[in-house]
């Protein structure tokens, strides 16, 4: 019985960490006042680039750097279009999603059909570096040890990124300036903050973080390329919803990831839970699977409705989000 609970909690973390990467990356971009709807595509590009070049080099560090750079370049395109050329952010983001997912299939099919074939993850040195790290002593604690202290290094990296980002926003001077840009770029500009530079840097870093999430997804799925099935599989879209759920706070994103993850994992783990606790949780298997799949979106909807109804203005949504800043318009 304890096994079932352990596996359930363990799966929540293992399968939903990409959401944390996607969400924290998107929060960083949105804090600079830009709404990037291209999460799905950005993650797909980071995933495929990081995986292929990482496999070639045999180093997880290289894979992480490549996916960060590849997705960062996508961020650069987004920044150039929306900040420098003042293009519409929604349209640009959607274009990036379409482009990114298509790029994934394009490269994937090309490599699969080439002579060298798609590189298999099983047994490679990348696979070994990605394998879970058992933290001494801590991982021996029953239930909690397995759930919290026996994970791949990329899971811990995701958590560290979320915490560092929270400190950056709340405790540092550049973080404060960044938030000012998101709230009122005109005021920030008048104080001498270099808006263009700030936007560029944070859009690129935010996109790069998403890319690492894509790489994690690739490695966690065993690194197989299936012609018609993308690794990212909608996680980019859920990430955008999670940003709202987390109220633009990286710390709350950590919490939000596990709440979303709870329901996301429940759709698979409902059966073992119902079998292990027939009296209390037996009803879980009576719920149609489609309902579980829809659940994260239903929750987002409820959160959106609640936050719109409340209107007492404790939302942390950057006030200038989605609007391009043009100095002469002030």
Partner 1 sequence: MRKLVSLVLTAAFAVTSCLSLAGCSGQTAATTAATTKAGETSQESKTPDGSEPAVANIKVGAIYINSQNDTAGYTYAHHKGITEGMKQVGLDPSKDLYIVDNVPEDDEKVKQAIDQLAGDGCNIIFGISFGYINAMKEKADEYPDIIFSHATGYLSNDKNFNNYFGRIYQARYLSGIAAGYKSLALKNDNIGYVSAWGVEYAETCSGINAFAMGARSVNPNAKVHVYEISTWGDQEKERQAAQVLIDTYKCCVIGQHCDSAQPQIVANEKGVFGCGYNSDMTKEAPKAHLTAAVWNWSAYYATAMKAAMTDKSTFMQTVGNYYQGIAAGLVDISELSGNCEPETAEAIKIAKDLMVSGKWDVFSGVKLAFSGAAGAVKVEQKNDALKDNKGEEKVAAGGASVGDDVIQGSMNYYVDGVTQVN
| 221: contact with partner 1 by CB under 8 A | yes
Q: Is 43 exposed, middle or buried (0-12, 13-18, 19+ CB in 10 A)?
A: buried
Task: Give the one residue of 222, 298, 301, 310 binding partner 1; rule: CB under 8 A.
Answer: 222
- Complex with partner 1: residue 170 or 226, whichever CB lies closer: 226
Least distance (Å) between residue 233 CB and partner 1: 6
DSSP code at position 84: I
Dihedral (C-alpha) 106, 220, 15, 264: value to the nearest 10 degrees?
40
Give every CB contact of residue 174 below 8 A, 6+ residues apart in sequence.
Answer: 168, 198
- Neighbouring C-alpha atoms within 13 Å toward the C-beta of 164: 9
Distance CA 322, CA 173 (A): 24
Backbone angles phi, psi at 166, to 5 degrees: -60, -45
Q: How many residues would you count in the chain? A: 330
- Complex with partner 1: residue 173 or 228, whichever CB lies closer: 228
- Complex with partner 1: residue 78 or 235, whichever CB lies closer: 235
Task: Give the one residue of 85, 91, 102, 120 binding partner 1; rule: CB under 8 A.
Answer: 120
Q: How many residues bind partner 1 (CB under 8 A)?
A: 36
| 285: contact with partner 1 by CB under 8 A | yes
Task: Give the one residue of 55, 74, 274, 320 binding partner 1; rule: CB under 8 A.
Answer: 274
Distance CA 192, CA 198 (A): 12
For residues 7 to 36, the per-residue mask of contacts with partner 1, x marking binding by CB under 8 A and - elsewhere, is x---x---x---------------------
Q: Is 307 exposed, middle or buried (0-12, 13-18, 19+ CB in 10 A)?
A: middle
Give every CB contact of residue 27 below 8 A, 6+ residues apart in sequence.
Answer: 165, 206, 243, 246, 248, 249, 250, 253
Dihedral (C-alpha) 16, 151, 8, 50: value to the nearest 10 degrees?
30
For residues 226 to 265, the per-residue mask of contacts with partner 1, x marking binding by CB under 8 A and - elsewhere, is xxxx-x-x-------------------------------x
| 116: contact with partner 1 by CB under 8 A | no
- Complex with partner 1: residue 15 or 168, whichever CB lies closer: 15
| 268: contact with partner 1 by CB under 8 A | yes
| 305: contact with partner 1 by CB under 8 A | no
Region near partner 1 per CB under 8 A, out of 83-91, 139-147, 207-215, 223-231? 223-231
Give every CB contact of residue 207 below 8 A, 6+ residues apart in sequence.
Answer: 25, 29, 36, 42, 71, 72, 74, 75, 76, 78
Largest CA distance in the chain: 67
| 282: contact with partner 1 by CB under 8 A | no
Task: Give the one residue of 99, 225, 245, 260 binding partner 1; rule: CB under 8 A.
Answer: 225
| 267: contact with partner 1 by CB under 8 A | yes
Q: Footprint of partner 1 on this chain (CB under 8 A)? A: 3-4, 7, 11, 15, 105, 109, 112-113, 118, 120, 122, 221-222, 224-229, 231, 233, 265, 267-272, 274-276, 285, 288-290
């Amino acid at each position: 019985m304890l096994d079932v609970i352990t596996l359930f909690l363990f799966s929540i973390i293992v399968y939903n960490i990409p959401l944390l990467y996607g969400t924290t990356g998107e929060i960083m971009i949105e804090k600079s006042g830009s709404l990037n709807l291209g999460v799905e595509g950005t993650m797909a590009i980071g995933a495929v680039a990081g995986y292929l070049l990482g496999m070639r080099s045999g180093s997880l560090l290289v894979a992480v750097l490549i996916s960060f750079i590849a997705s960062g370049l996508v961020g650069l395109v987004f920044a150039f279009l929306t900040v420098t050329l003042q293009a519409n952010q929604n349209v640009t983001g959607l274009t990036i999603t379409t482009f990114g997912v298509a790029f994934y299939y394009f490269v994937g099919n090309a490599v699969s059909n080439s002579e060298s074939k798609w590189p298999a993850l099983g047994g490679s040195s990348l696979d070994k570096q990605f394998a879970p790290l058992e933290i001494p002593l801590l991982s021996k604690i029953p239930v909690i040890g397995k759930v919290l202290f026996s994970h791949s290094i990329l899971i811990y990296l995701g958590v560290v990124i979320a915490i560092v980002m929270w400190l950056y926003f709340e405790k540092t001077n550049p973080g404060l300036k960044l938030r000012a840009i998101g709230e009122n770029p005109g005021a920030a500009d008048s104080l001498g903050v270099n808006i263009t530079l700030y936007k560029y840097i944070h859009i690129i870093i935010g996109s790069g973080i998403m890319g690492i999430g894509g790489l994690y997804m690739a490695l966690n799925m065993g690194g197989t390329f299936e012609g018609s099935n993308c690794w990212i599989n909608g996680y980019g879209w859920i990430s955008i919803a999670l940003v709202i759920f987390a109220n633009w706070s990286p710390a709350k994103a950590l919490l939000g990831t596990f709440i979303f993850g709870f329901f996301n994992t429940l759709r698979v783990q409902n059966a073992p839970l119902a079998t292990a606790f027939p009296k209390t949780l037996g009803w879980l298997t009576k719920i149609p699977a489609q309902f579980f799949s829809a659940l994260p979106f239903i929750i987002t909807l409820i959160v959106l409705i609640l936050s719109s109804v409340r209107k007492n203005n404790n939302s942390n949504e950057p006030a200038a989000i989605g609007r391009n800043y043009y100095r002469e318009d002030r």
